[in-house]
Structures are given as structure tokens and as C-alpha cells.
Amino acid sequence: MKRMLGIWLGMFVVAGSSMVAMGCTSPEEDSCNIKTAGVYVQYEVVEEGNSAHAMATFWVGDSPGGTFLTLGSCGDTITVNGQSLSKNTSNVDHDYYEATMAPADSYDFVFSRQDEDPYTSSVSPRTPVVVTSPSGASISRTEAFDVTWEADSGSIDLLIEGKCIKDFPSINGDSVPDNGTYTVNAGGIEPFVSSDATESCTANVELTRENSGNLSPSLKGSIKGSAVGRTSFTSTP
């Protein structure tokens, strides 16, 4: 099945639920019933263009997946740089909290609970990604071409995907040197299935730089910041 675009699709859980939220497949628990030591957090900020998207998901236990937490009415809140995150219930697997804001040098996630000191975690995404080519071109899968962007250092994640082609360089993309150019060899992009060999479709190019952050030492979980750049072209036979 083709890669589905979404945010933090969690593990599919079919058993062990005491309560299943409407529209969700993961079991749900009220955070007011769970002590901080039993909470696992996932924080992420994604910068793209002139905006930043902050997301937070809360789970029960020592890892993501399983039973997720919805923040109850006992005073549990989550903010980023002072802005409250709102609950999003549209995810097919689990709810999460999100907010869109202007890009900042750093993002402070503050998890607040009644009668406890706030738990502050921070992250700074890497340099914004500026993709320079290809853009709007029609490129045959029998031709070699370059993906170019403004270089940085270290590595960057590259993904080229489309309805009629297989994910490139691999499923969900892969890490490549962040040197500003990547050559796609002739035949490197393949039809998704044999019947797509004569089809053309839009190929979306996504380049992502990631950076880990500093999670509150009193919390279990993960925190990362990402900067994303995109372009597209038409992939032809």
C-alpha cells in the first residue's frame, strides 16, 4: 500500500482497551488518572515556509503506541512558546494536540499539571530547507536528473513519491548527504505497479532536516524539530 501522508500514525491496537474514543482505533485514557511517571510524550515541531506546526501526543507507559492520553479537566495542559495546543481528533488512529505559529529560534513545550512544577522541553529545528530543482518539469523515468537545494551539513532525508511511482530512494525515503545535490539515475524511479509503466503523474519531492531536542529530565519520551522543503515535477514514462 502506498505511503499515507499523515502525522504520527500510531500502532494499530485491537485489544486491551477499556475505552475507545469515537473515530479512533487506539484505546484512550484520561490523563487525570495517570501519574507523570506513567506518561510517555512525543513532541515535534515542523517548520515549512513561513509557519511552524507543533504537535504533542501523550501515551500511557514507556513507549509510543497502545493507550494514548487525552488531557483531562484536572488542570493538565500543553503549550508551546505560551500558545495552547488544541486537540485534533481527525487522526485515524489516535488524537493529538497541535498548533500553528510563526517560526521561532526555539520552541518550548510546557506540560503543566496541578500541584506539580511545569515540565519544560525545548527544541530548535535546523536550517530551513530551500529546494531549487526540479520544479514543474516533465522528466522521463528513463532520464537521469538532479535534485538540488541549498546545502547545509550532515545529512538530510529525501523522499520522492507519487501515485504511479514507487517511493524513492526507498519506502518513506532515505538519508542522503546534505551537500545540495542528489543525482537520480536513469531508471532509478520505477512504476508503482507494472500497469503504471505507461502512466504519468505528479512526483512530490520532500527534503527534511531533523534535530533532536532536550526533553524534560522528569519525562519519558521524544522531542524533535524538523525543517521541510518541497517541490514537484511530472514523472513520465
| b/e code 144-182 from CB counts within 10 Å (16+ = b) | ebebbbeebeeebbbbbbbebbbbbbeeebeeeebeeeb
> Does 4 score more than 70 pLDDT?
no
Average pLDDT over residues 189-203: 98
Note the pLDDT of residue 14: 31
225 forms beta bridges with 45, 211
Q: What are phi and psi of 190, to 5 degrees?
A: -115, 155
Closest CA to 230 of 141, 164, 138, 132: 132
Question: Taking the CA atoms of the chain, what radius of gyration do you get in angstroms?
Answer: 20
Q: Side by side, which strands form the sheet with 107-112?
A: 83-84, 77-80, 107-112, 119-123
pLDDT single digits (tens) 162-185: 999 999 999 999 999 999 999 999
CATH number of this structure's domain 131-213+224-236: 2.60.40
Query: How far apart are the C-alpha atoms of 12 and 24, rounded to whole Å?
Result: 10
pLDDT single digits (tens) 72-126: 999 999 999 999 999 998 877 888 999 999 999 999 999 999 999 999 999 999 9
Q: Give the DSSP per-residue string, 151-202.
A: --SSEEEEEEEETTEEEESSTT-EEEE-SSEEEE-TT-S-BSSGGGGG--EE
DSSP at 92? S
CATH number for 28-124 (one of 3.40.50, 1.25.40, 3.30.1490, 2.60.40): it is: 2.60.40
Query: What are the structural domain ranges in the chain?
Result: 28-124, 131-213+224-236
Query: How far apart are the C-alpha atoms of 160 and 206, rounded to whole Å?
Result: 6
Return left, alpha or beta for 16; rule: phi > 0 is left, psi -120 to 50 is alpha, else beta: left
Task: State which amino acid sits at residue 69.
Answer: L
Note the pLDDT of residue 5: 35
pLDDT single digits (tens) 128-165: 999 999 999 999 999 999 999 999 999 999 999 999 99
Note the pLDDT of residue 30: 96
C-alpha to C-alpha distances, 197 to 164, 170, 194, nearest whole angstrom: 8, 18, 6
> Does 9 score more than 80 pLDDT?
no
pTM of the model: 0.82
Residues 128, 225 contacting (CB under 8 angstroms): no
C-alpha cell at 220: 519519558
pLDDT single digits (tens) 24-69: 467 999 999 999 999 999 999 999 999 999 999 999 999 999 899 9
| 185: exposed, middle or buried (Cβ count in 10 Å: 0-12, 13-18, 19+) | exposed
Q: Do domains 28-124 and 131-213+224-236 have the same CATH topology?
A: yes
Note the pLDDT of residue 25: 63
- In sequence order, the 6+-apart residues with CB closer than 8 A to the CB of 124 are 105, 106, 107, 211, 213, 225
